[in-house]
Amino acid sequence: MLQCMGCHTPDGGGEPGHVPSVRNTLTPLALTPEGRKFLVQVPGSAQSKLSDAELAEVLNWMVNNLSANPMPQAFKRFTASEVASYRRTPIVAVGAVRKRLVADLAARQVDPALKVQ
């Protein structure tokens, strides 16, 4: 709630023009190695006071509860060791990295609803 909801809102919808929605990007990002790394490295995640195991559970909850996309059976849950391996190197240019990742997903037609914001 303190790290993500304040900006992305309780339903993950964000604030148009200011904070992107996570609803259409959580599932597609959680299915790619680079996207998973991004979800862990964004400042709200990386700088959270949660333990690696707690952050993994929060990310799993977000994907399962905030995503507008159905979760495919191929989804691999985040683990504490995965979070620990990514988290120590936070992203500085969050917007630029997100824009590139979303554009890559859209180019591969992962989800036609994805829009670069």
- Mean per-residue pLDDT, 16-20: 67
Backbone angles phi, psi at 99, to 5 degrees: -60, -45
pLDDT grade, residue 107 (50/70/90)?
A: confident
Percent of the chain scored above 70 by pLDDT?
74
The number of C-alpha atoms within 13 Å of 13 and in the hemisphere containing its C-beta is 4
Residue 18 one-letter amino acid: H
Quick one: pLDDT band at residue 6, thresholds 50, 70, 90?
A: low
Single pTM value for the model? 0.81
What pLDDT, on a 0 to 100 scale, did the predictor assign at position 25? 82
Burial 9-21 (b: 16+ CB within 10 A, else e): beebebeeeeebb
Residue 70: Cβ-neighbour burial (10 angstroms; 0-12, 13-18, 19+):
exposed
Q: Hey, which residues does 19 pair with through a beta bridge?
A: 15
pLDDT range class, residue 65, cuts 50, 70, 90: confident
The tokens of 99 are what? Answer: 């824009």
Would you say residue 108 has pLDDT above 70? yes
